[in-house]
C-alpha cells in the first residue's frame, strides 16, 4: 500500500523535481519556492531512518533566487534549467565533491522577457528538448536557447498579443504554446516567419490552459489541464479538434505528468488540494499474432468509463502546485509549506 510522508519546509513550493540518475532511482530532488521576500532553489536528499521507518528530506544545498520560481526541468543528472518571475532563466549545476554537494549558477539568461515599457516580464514556463530550451512569458514572447551558449539563439517578439502560459516541444523543431485566452499555437522553429503554423482553441469558451503534457511514446497525443479542472486531449496527427474533454478536478489543474515507464498511467494535482493517479482499465489487446496498444486517452466516447482514478493522499486544504514521478514514488509541493512523498505507488 502507498505510504505518505509529509514534511514542513517553511515555504510555499511551486516546483519540485526528482534528480535523474542512471537507474532512475534517485533520492535527491530540488524545490523552487514562491511568495518569499527572498526565494530559493534547494537540493534535498530523502533520508530513510532505520529506527522508526520514517522518511524525511535532508537539506543538502540552497541557492538564492531572484523572483518566484516558475519552472525547473533537468537536462541530466548534473544540470537543470529554471525560470522566474524576474524574466530570467538559469542553467544550474549540481557540483559534487568529496566534501559537499552544492548548487551553482552556470549560465544566466538575464531579462530575456521584458514588457514594452522595459519592466521585467515574468518568464511563465520553459520546455526542453535535449540541449534546446524554449521559454515563454507574460510579454507574449518566445525565446529559443541552448544549454551550450550564454546568448539567445532566437527571439520571437510579439509571438502573442497576451500572456503565454505554457510551452512544450512536440518535435525538436516544433513547439506548442498556450495563452491566457485559451489559444493553442504550433510553431515551426525552422521557419523564419514570426507566425504560428496552426492556431486552435482549447474549447469554445475562454478557458485558460494551466499545464500541458505529451504522451511518452506517442508524442502526438497532447493533454492540457485547465483552470476549470478539465483534461482535454488532442491527437495532432488528425486535426486540432479535441478527441475528448474530461471533467476532472474541482479546482485549477496545477500539473499533469505521464509516468515515463508506464505511459498508460497519468498523475495530476490541483489547487483544490487533490493528488490523483489515473490508470487505464484497458491494456494491450492481441489480434491474431499482433499486440495492439490501445490508448484510451484517444477514445472519443466515454473515456471516463475506461479509466480508474485513485486518490494518493487525503485532500489538503491548500493548493498542490507541483508533482514529479520516480518509479513507484510520487513527490509533490504545496502552498501549506510542506512537501509530500508517496512511496510504493501501485502501477496498475
Question: What CATH number is associated with residue 242?
Answer: 2.130.10.10
Say if 295 falls within a structural domain. Answer: yes
* Dist. CA 213–CA 56, nearest whole Å: 29
Strand order in the sheet with 39-48: 12-18, 28-34, 39-48, 55-65
For residue range 12-68, list pLDDT tens digits in order: 999 999 999 866 667 999 999 999 999 999 999 987 665 556 788 999 999 999 999
DSSP state of 308: E
Q: Are 201 and 183 in contact (CB under 8 A)?
A: yes
Is the confidence at residue 248, as pLDDT, over 50? yes
Q: CA angle, corner 214, sides to 208 and 220, nearest 5?
A: 105
254: enclosing H helix or E strand: strand 253-258
For residue range 123-169, list pLDDT tens digits in order: 999 999 999 999 999 999 999 999 999 999 999 999 999 999 999 99
CB atoms within 10 A of CB 35: 11
Say if 205 falls within a structural domain. Answer: no
What is the tally of structural domains in the chain? Answer: 1
> In the structure grid, which three cell numbers stand for residue 56, read together?
524525511
Q: Which of 345, 341, 342 is nearest to 9 (CA)?
A: 341
pLDDT score recorded for residue 204? 64
pLDDT score recorded for residue 322? 98
DSSP3 helix / strand / coil % (the chain, rounded to 5)? 0, 55, 45
Say if 129 falls within a structural domain. Answer: no
CB atoms within 10 A of CB 93: 16
Burial 255-270 (b: 16+ CB within 10 A, else e): bbbbbeebbbbbbbbb
| Phi–psi pair at 305, nearest 5 degrees | -75, -15
Say if 328 falls within a structural domain. Answer: yes
What residue numbers bound the domain in which 227 lies?
217-348
Say if 308 falls within a structural domain. Answer: yes
Residue 87's alpha-carbon distances to 33, 39, 117, 165, in angstroms, are 16, 14, 14, 13
What residues contact 348, with CB distance under 8 A and at least 6 apart? Answer: 265, 279, 308
Say if 115 falls within a structural domain. Answer: no
pLDDT score recorded for residue 58? 94
Say if 269 falls within a structural domain. Answer: yes
Q: Which of the residue ranges 85-99, 154-168, 302-316, 317-331 would you say has the lowest mean pLDDT?
A: 302-316
| Residue of 140 and 99 predicted with greater confidence | 140
Strands 183-188, 3-8: pairing is unpaired
- E-only strand ranges, 66-131: 69-74, 79-84, 89-96, 101-109, 123-129
For residue range 192-245, list pLDDT tens digits in order: 989 999 999 987 677 899 999 999 999 999 999 999 999 999 999 887 788 889
pLDDT score recorded for residue 139? 97
Say if 341 falls within a structural domain. Answer: yes
Residue 254's alpha-carbon distances to 88, 92, 278, 318, 333, in angstroms, are 22, 24, 15, 12, 11
Amino acid at each position: 500500500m502507498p505510504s505518505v510522508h509529509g514534511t514542513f519546509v517553511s515555504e510555499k513550493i511551486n516546483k519540485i523535481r526528482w534528480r535523474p540518475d542512471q537507474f532512475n532511482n534517485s533520492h535527491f530532488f530540488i524545490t523552487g519556492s514562491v511568495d518569499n521576500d527572498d526565494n530559493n532553489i534547494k537540493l534535498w536528499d530523502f533520508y530513510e531512518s532505520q529506527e522508526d521507518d520514517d522518511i524525511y528530506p535532508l537539506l543538502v544545498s540552497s541557492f538564492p533566487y531572484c523572483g518566484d520560481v516558475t519552472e525547473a526541468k533537468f537536462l541530466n543528472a548534473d544540470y537543470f534549467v529554471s525560470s522566474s518571475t524576474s524574466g530570467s532563466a538559469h542553467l544550474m549545476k549540481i557540483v559534487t565533491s568529496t566534501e559537499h554537494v552544492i548548487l551553482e549558477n552556470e549560465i544566466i539568461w538575464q531579462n530575456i522577457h521584458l514588457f514594452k515599457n522595459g519592466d521585467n516580464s515574468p518568464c511563465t514556463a520553459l520546455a526542453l528538448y535535449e540541449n534546446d530550451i524554449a521559454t515563454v512569458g507574460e510579454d507574449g514572447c518566445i525565446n529559443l536557447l541552448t544549454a551550450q551558449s550564454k546568448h539567445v539563439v532566437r527571439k520571437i517578439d510579439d509571438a502573442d498579443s497576451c500572456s503565454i502560459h505554457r510551452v512544450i516541444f512536440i518535435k525538436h523543431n516544433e513547439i506548442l504554446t498556450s495563452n491566457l485566452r485559451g489559444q493553442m499555437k504550433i510553431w515551426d522553429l525552422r521557419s523564419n516567419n514570426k507566425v504560428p503554423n496552426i492556431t486552435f482553441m482549447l474549447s469554445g469558451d475562454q478557458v485558460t490552459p494551466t499545464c500541458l503534457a505529451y504522451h511518452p511514446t506517442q508524442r502526438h497525443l497532447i493533454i492540457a489541464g485547465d483552470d476549470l479542472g478539465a483534461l482535454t486531449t488532442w491527437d495532432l496527427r488528425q486535426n486540432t479538434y479535441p478527441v475528448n474533454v474530461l471533467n476532472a478536478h474541482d479546482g485549477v489543474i496545477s500539473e499533469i505528468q505521464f509516468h515515463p515507464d508506464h505511459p498508460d498511467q497519468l498523475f495530476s494535482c490541483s489547487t483544490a488540494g487533490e493528488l490523483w493517479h489515473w490508470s487505464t482499465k484497458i491494456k494491450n489487446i492481441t489480434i491474431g499474432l499482433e499486440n495492439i496498444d490501445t490508448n484510451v486517452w484517444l477514445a472519443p466516447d466515454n473515456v471516463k468509463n475506461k479509466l480508474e482514478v485513485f486518490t494518493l493522499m487525503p485532500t489538503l486544504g491548500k493548493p498542490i502546485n507541483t508533482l514529479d514521478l520516480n518509479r513507484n514514488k510520487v513527490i509533490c509541493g504545496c502552498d501549506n509549506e510542506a512537501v509530500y512523498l508517496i512511496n510504493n505507488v501501485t502501477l496498475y
